[in-house]
Structure 1
Amino acid sequence: MSATTAVAPSVHEELLDHSADEHASRRVVVVAIDGSDRSQQAVDWAIDNILRAAQDSVVLINVRPLAVQLGYPTALGDFGAEYQSIEDANREASHELIRKTAKKFVEKDIPIRGIALRGDAREELVAKIDELKAQLVIIGSRGLNTVSRALIGSVSDYVVHHSSAPVIVTKF
C-alpha cells in the first residue's frame, strides 16, 4: 500500500499596492511579517534604520499556514465546512495583519505592496523573493534556541541560507 501526499496549491494574494510610479528604478526590499512582537519590531527597525522613501519599494509578505483537515467525510459528518472556516479565518487574519502593518510604511511615504501567501513559510518566502528579484530581505528572529531551531526549523535561518538576496535578521 503506497501513501501519496497531496500538495496544496500555492496561493498569492496581492492585497494592496501603494507603490511609486518609478517602481522599476527603486530597490525592492521584502519585509516578512508573522504578527509576532519580534516581527513588528523588525518592521519598526527597518523603517527607522534601513528604508528610504525616495529609494526603496517595500513588498510586505505574510505566509499563513495551511489549515489541517483533521478527518475525512464519514457517516458521522463532513469536516469540509470546518476546514473551510479555518482557512477563511487564517486568510482574513493574514490580510488584516498586512493592512495594519502597511499603514506604518504609508505614514512614512514608503512605497508598499502587500502579498499574502499560504503554505510552508520557508519555501514560500524564498520562492517569492526570487520571483520579485528582491535586492534585500528583512525578517525578524523568533529567538529559538538551538534545539528548537533544529527540531522545528527556523524560517529566518532557512531564508538566510536559500535566498538569492542579502538577508537582515533582526533580533531583539
Structure 2
Amino acid sequence: MSNENRYTVVVGVDGSPASKAALGWAAWHAGLVGGSITAIMAWHLPMIYNWEVPGPEGLEHEMAKKLSALIDEVAADKTSVQVRKEIAEGHPARALLDAADETQADLIVVGNRGHGGFTEALLGSVSQYVVHHARCPVVVVREPQRA
C-alpha cells in the first residue's frame, strides 16, 4: 500500500486517445477501491547540436494546463477520486517508474501507445518499458476502437 495507507494509482497521460482511456480506467478503478491517482505528464527535450531551447518554465506551465484540461475532460465525473497532477522532466517511462516508487504506488496504468513514432505498434515503447521494469502491477489500456 502507499505511504498514506491509501491505494495509489499512477497513470501516464500524454493526450493520446490511449492515454485518455488509461486515465478514465484509472479513475474508475481508483473510485472502486477508494484510492487516489497521480497523473503524470512528462516532457523530454533531447540536446540537438547544442541548440538553445526556451526555458522549461513555459513548457511546464503549458503542459500543466493541458494535463488539467485532460483530467477535467476524462475524469470530471469521478469527483470522489483525489487526483494529484505531476509534470516531470525526463523520459516518460522513467518518470512513471520514479513516481510509482516515490508514492509507493499499488498500480501503474498506461495506454497501449501514445504520441510516439510507430502508430502501428501494438504496444508502445513507454508501456513496454514500464511493464518490464515496474515494481508493482501494471495495467495497459488499449485505445478505444474507432467506428
Measured against the shorter chain, the TM-score band is 0.7 to 0.9
1:152-171 to structure 2, matched below 5 A, reads 154-171=125-142
- Deviations along 1:89-137, one digit per CA (max 9) or x if unpaired, are 5323321222113324454221111111011112222122111100011
Which structure has the bigger radius of gyration?
Answer: 1
CA contact (8 A) 2:26 2:37 kept: no
What 5-or-longer segments of structure 1 have no aligned partner? Answer: 1-22, 72-78
1:129 to 96, 100, 116: 100
Instruction: Give the counterpart of 2:88 among 117, 120, 124.
Output: 117
Aligned pairs (5 A) from 1:61-140:
61-66=40-45, 68-71=47-50, 80=52, 83-84=53-54, 87-103=56-72, 104-108=74-78, 109-140=80-111
| 1:16-58 CA distance string (max 9 Å, x none) | xxxxxxx92320111111111211122223334x221661111
Q: Give the CA RMSD over aligned residues.
A: 2.5
Partner of 1:17: none
TM normalised by structure 1 equals: 0.66
- After the TM superposition, list the runs of 4 or more consecutive aligned residues in structure 1 that deviate by more than 6 angstroms: none
- Residue 19 of structure 1 is matched in structure 2 by none
Deviation at 1:166, TM superposition (A): 0.3
* Kept after mapping to 2: 8 A contact 1:140/1:170: yes
CA spacing shift, 1:106–1:24, aligned 2, 3 Å: farther
Q: Deviations over 1:74-102 (max 9, x none)?
A: xxxxx54xx125x3453233212221133
Distance 1:120 1:59 in 2: 17
Residue 46, structure 1, aligned to residue 46, structure 2: no
TM-score of the two chains, using structure 2 as the length reference = 0.76
State how far apart, in whole Å, the 1-side matches of 2:22 and 2:40 are: 13
Output one character per residue of 1:117-163: Cα deviation in whole Å (capped at 9) or x when no partner: 011112222122111100011110116527xx7xxx70001101111
